[in-house]
Amino acid sequence: MLALGKLLELTLAGHEPAQKIQLTTGGVCLRWLGEGALEVRPSAATDSGLDLLLSAGVHGNETAPIELLDSLLQAIARGQLVPRARILFLFGNPEAMRRGARYIERDVNRLFNGRHTAVSGNEALRACELERLATTFFSLPQRTRLHYDLHTAIRGSRIEQFALYPWKQGREYSRQELVRLQAAGMRAVLLQNKPSITFSAFTYEQLDAEAFTLELGKARPFGQNAEVDLSRLETSLRQLIEGVETDLEQPLDQLALFSVSREVIKHTDAFRLHLDDDIENFTELDQGYLLAEDDRQQRWVVEEQGARIIFPNPKVANGLRAGILIVPTPQA
């Protein structure tokens, strides 16, 4: 197997490869762009016109999607998976991956869309670098742009695999992309309603890619992901890479849609979230329930019918969201 196919091994060891460009026997070009970054180019004769950005490890302890990307890249390097798409593989936070930590000082996935310019440190520099790599990758005209940023969650979930769909003023959601997500095993999609500071929001809002954050189960250490079933996602990614997708006009009968009702923002150290520590994502909350308090003037009471909570985390830094209230959204 080509050495560049061992991108994960290189990243975890902190090594720079001696050869930056290698070719498979089938003429596929692998090009090392920097730590945790590798571009794959198909031969010109077979190029499908798709630019596919696959990122994982933005949170370093979310290892199942890292292992999935490693498997896909190794298959390409061995010639067992022959791409027709141009692909950028990115491991988001190499130092956190090496330490088995979500992040070192700052959550990288809260530093995009320019947020990194307001803070200092290595993770701010990494977010800037990821923006640069994505911008360069998506700079070619007249090509289809798609980005999947792969994650696993801190906690369990009543809907284990789901996607977050970014928002941009005046831009419509794509039914074709929803069908793709359903085929990839997603059981719910959260339609966001305002700009965000995540990686997928950056590529969606600034680079005009179709872009999604995919939550794929619960975070576990390397080698302990047998319970995280990514088989449907892997099949879908292989089809995208090989350019052999099936019908994208399927009914969306296995996909629940939700929209954001409110974000719960932690403003001060006095913030209290009135939920059990082990509450699962998509848990439904009763109307009238006192969800959170920050000070005597700020209280979050559940008003919405059918409201559910996702990403509850009272330990975030002040100014960041400590949870999202979502409500079911009928399909158009």
Catalytic annotation, residues: 215
- Cα(192)–Cα(170) distance, rounded to whole angstroms? 13
274 in Cβ contact with 116 (< 8 Å): no
Residue from 139, 133, 150, 154 nearest 211 by CA: 150
- Cα(201)–Cα(168) distance, rounded to whole angstroms? 9
267 among annotated binding-site residues: no
**Encoded amino acid at 13, one letter:** A
Contacts 24+ apart (CB under 8 A), 105-110: 107/59, 107/316, 107/320, 108/58, 108/59, 108/199, 109/58, 109/59, 109/149, 109/151, 109/197, 109/198, 109/199, 110/197, 110/198, 110/320
147 among annotated binding-site residues: no
116 among annotated binding-site residues: no
> Annotated binding site for Zn(2+): which residue ranges?
59, 62, 151
> Annotated binding site: which residue ranges?
59, 62, 151
